[in-house]
C-alpha cells in the first residue's frame, strides 16, 4: 500500500480546517509560526497566573537597589560618584536581566518533563515552537521589566544624560544580554532534571555573580586576586556599557574590559549565544526525536 492510497474519507469530516496530511516546506514554516504564537500566549498566561517567579526576579534587584540607594548609600558610594542612585539604576537593570534566566530554565524544564513532552510529541505540531515561544515570551517580559524599572529609576531621580539614541542603545545592550541568557536558560532547563531543581541552582549562582561585579562597588575595593574576576565578569561589562550609554556616572577604571565595555557587552553575549544555542538545540533534538 502506498501512502498516497489513503483516502481522504478517513480524515475527520468536521469543519475547522484540519491541515492536510503532508505539509509543504512553506506550510510547515507557517505552522511553526502559529505554534510559536499559540505557545507564547500560553507562556504569558502562566506568568500572570503563577506570578511568584517573575515577581521574585524583579523585586530582588529592586530591594537591593533601594537598600543600597537609600540605606547604605552614603557608606557604599565610591568616591567621585555624585549621584549613587543614578549609578545604581543600570546595575539594577542588568541584575533583572540576569535573574530572568530562572524563569526561562524552569519554563523549559516544565515543558520538557516526560508526560508533558509526550503529549506535545504525539501531536502534529512543531516541537521547536516550544523553544521559540519560550524565547519570545521571555524577551517580551524583559522589555516590560526594563520599561518598569526605568520608571522606578525616574522616580528615584535617575535620568539618561546622553540623548535618546544612546539610551535606546543601552536598552539594546541589556536586551542582547538577556537574549544570550535566554538560550543559556534553555540549555539549563533541558539539562536540569526538574523545574524545582532549577531554582535551587539559579539563585545561588546568579546572586554572587552579580555581587562579584562592578555593579555596586569598584573592583579596587575587592581583594587583589578577585579584582580581575570582577573586571572580566560579563555583568560588569554590561553594567559599564549601559552606564556609559545612559551617560550615568561610572567607575574610574583602567582595566581593559572596562575601557572597552561596549565592545565587550556586544561580543560576549553573541559569543555565548553561538556557544549555547547549538548545544541547546542538539540536546532538544535528542529528547524530541
Partner 1 sequence: MSHTTPAIRAEGLRKSYGATRALDGLDLTVRAGTVFGLLGPNGAGKTTAVRVLATLLRPDSGRASVAGYDVLAQADRVRTRIGLTGQYASVDELLTGRENLLMFGRLYGLDAAGADERARSLLERFDLVGAADRRADGYSGGMRRRLDLAVSLIQEPGVLFLDEPTTGLDPRSRLQVWESVRALTASGTTVLLTTQYLEEADQLADAVAVIDHGRVIAEGTPDALKSQVGGDRLDVVVRDPADLAATARLLGDAVSAPASVHREEQRVSVPAEDRMEALTRAVRALDGSGLRVEDVGVRRPSLDEVFLGLTGSTATDHENDRERTQEVSR
Q: Which is nearer to partner 1, 38 or 168 (CB)?
A: 38
Q: Which is nearer to partner 1, 141 or 243 (CB)?
A: 141
Is 124 one of the binding residues for partner 1 (CB under 8 A)?
yes
Binding-site member from 63, 71, 118, 161 for partner 1 (CB under 8 A): 118
CB of residue 37 to partner 1, shortest distance in Å: 9
Q: How many residues at the interface with partner 1, by CB under 8 A?
A: 37
The binder of partner 1 chosen from 29, 71, 123, 151 (CB under 8 A): 123
Query: Of residues 25, 26, 33, 38, which one binds partner 1 by CB under 8 A?
Result: 38
Q: Cα–Cα distance between 240 and 259 in angstroms, integer?
A: 9
Nearest distance from C-beta of residue 46 to partner 1, angstroms: 5
- Using CB under 8 A as the binding rule, whether residue 194 contacts partner 1 is answered as no
Tell me the closest approach of the beta carbon of residue 265 to partner 1, in angstroms: 35
Does 3 engage in binding with partner 1 (CB under 8 A)? yes
Q: CA separation (Å) from 264 to 102, 170, 232?
A: 24, 13, 10
Give the contact letters, 138-177, x = binds to partner 1 (CB under 8 A), - = no.
----------------------------------------
Give a three-class secondary structure readout of the chain: CCHHHCCHHHCCCCCCCCCCCCCCHHHHHHHHHHHHHHHHHHHHHHHHHCCHHHHHHHHHHHHHHHHHHHCCHHHHCCCCCCCHHHHHHHHHHHHHHHHHHHHHHHHHHHHCCHHHHHHHHCCCCCCCHHHHHHHHHHHHHHHHHHHHHHHHHHHHCCCCCCHHHHHHHHHHHHHHHHHHHHHHHHHHHHHCCCHHHHHHHHHHHHHHHHHCCCCCCCHHHCCCCCHHHHHHCHHHHHHHHHHHHHCCCCCCCCCHHHHCHHHHHHHHHHHHHHHHHHHHHHHHHHHHC
In the complex, the smallest distance separating the C-beta of residue 5 from partner 1, rounded to whole angstroms, is 8
* First vs last C-alpha separation in the chain: 26
Does 115 engage in binding with partner 1 (CB under 8 A)?
Answer: yes
Per rule CB under 8 A, is residue 26 in the interface with partner 1?
no
Please enumerate in sequence order all residues whose Cβ is within 8 A of that of 257, keeping only pairs 6 or more positions apart, or say none.
Answer: 231, 232, 236, 237, 240, 264
24 binds partner 1 (CB under 8 A): no
Which of these ranges, 33-41, 182-190, 207-215, 235-243, lies near partner 1 under the rule CB under 8 A? 33-41
Please tell me whether residue 45 binds partner 1 under the rule CB under 8 A.
Answer: yes
* Contact call for residue 121 and partner 1 (CB under 8 A): yes
Binds partner 1 (CB under 8 A): choice among 4, 8, 24, 50: 50
- Closest approach of Cβ 28 to partner 1, in Å? 9
Cell triple for 174: 541589556
Contact residues for partner 1, defined by CB under 8 A: 1, 3, 5-7, 10, 12, 14-19, 21-22, 31, 34-35, 38-39, 41-42, 45-46, 49-50, 115-116, 118-125, 289
Amino acid at each position: 500500500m502506498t501512502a498516497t492510497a489513503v483516502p481522504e474519507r478517513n480524515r475527520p469530516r468536521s469543519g475547522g480546517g484540519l491541515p492536510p496530511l503532508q505539509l509543504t516546506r512553506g506550510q510547515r514554516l507557517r505552522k511553526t509560526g502559529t505554534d510559536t504564537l499559540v505557545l507564547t500566549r500560553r507562556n504569558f498566561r502562566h506568568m500572570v497566573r503563577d506570578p511568584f517567579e517573575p515577581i521574585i526576579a524583579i523585586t530582588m534587584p529592586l530591594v537591593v537597589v533601594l537598600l543600597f540607594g537609600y540605606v547604605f548609600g552614603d557608606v557604599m558610594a565610591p568616591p567621585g560618584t555624585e549621584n549613587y542612585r543614578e549609578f545604581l539604576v543600570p546595575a539594577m537593570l542588568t541584575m533583572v536581566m540576569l535573574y530572568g534566566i530562572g524563569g526561562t530554565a524552569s519554563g523549559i524544564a516544565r515543558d520538557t518533563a516526560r508526560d508533558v513532552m509526550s503529549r506535545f510529541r504525539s501531536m502534529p505540531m512543531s516541537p521547536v515552537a516550544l523553544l521559540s515561544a519560550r524565547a519570545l515570551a521571555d524577551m517580551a517580559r524583559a522589555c516590560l521589566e526594563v520599561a518598569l524599572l526605568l520608571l522606578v529609576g525616574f522616580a528615584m531621580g535617575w535620568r539618561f544624560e546622553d540623548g535618546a539614541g544612546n539610551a535606546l542603545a543601552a536598552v539594546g545592550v541589556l536586551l542582547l544580554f538577556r537574549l544570550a541568557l535566554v538560550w543559556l536558560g534553555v540549555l539549563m532547563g533541558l539539562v536540569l532534571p526538574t523545574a524545582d531543581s532549577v531554582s535551587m541552582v539559579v539563585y545561588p549562582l546568579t546572586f554572587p555573580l552579580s555581587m562579584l561585579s562592578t555593579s555596586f562597588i569598584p573592583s579596587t575595593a575587592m581583594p587583589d586576586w578577585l579584582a580581575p574576576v570582577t573586571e572580566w565578569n560579563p555583568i560588569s561589562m554590561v553594567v559599564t556599557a549601559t552606564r556609559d550609554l545612559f551617560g550615568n556616572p561610572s567607575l574610574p577604571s583602567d582595566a581593559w574590559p572596562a575601557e572597552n565595555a561596549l565592545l565587550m557587552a556586544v561580543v560576549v553575549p553573541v559569543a555565548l549565544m553561538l556557544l549555547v544555542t547549538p548545544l541547546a538545540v542538539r540536546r532538544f533534538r535528542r529528547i524530541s526525536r
